[in-house]
Amino acid sequence: MEKYELTSETSSFNGITFYRIKALKNFGNIKSGDLGGWIERKENLSDLSNAWVSGNACVSGNACISGNACVIGNARVSGNAHIDHTKED
């Protein structure tokens, strides 16, 4: 099962259309139904981890958020950036 979906709510920034994300299941600190931040396309946020984008944060281009990484606030991640945080025990 996918962990999130792109909603029909959009926002434009620097000529790029972003879609708000919505959690489809509980994972990490995220609950099913929680609204997240903004991504340009599904490839910007991994479905296989606890990674999340929240607030007014935007991810675009070939950028990808994965692992346990969380992009928050007004952050902008773009280009070929790869944000990944692996939790150490």
- Consecutive sets of 10 residues in the chain, 89 residues long: mean pLDDT of each? 96 95 96 98 96 97 97 97 81
* Structure tokens belonging to residue 21: 């994300």
Q: What is the pLDDT of residue 86?
A: 79
In whole angstroms, give the CA distance from residue 13 to residue 85. Answer: 26
Predicted TM-score (pTM) of the model is 0.92
3-state helix/strand/coil string of 50-83: CCEECCCCEECCCCEEEECCEECCCCEECCCCEE
pLDDT for res 50: 96
pLDDT for res 1: 81
Q: Number of folded domains in the chain? A: 1
CA distance 72 to 36: 9
23: containing domain = 4-85
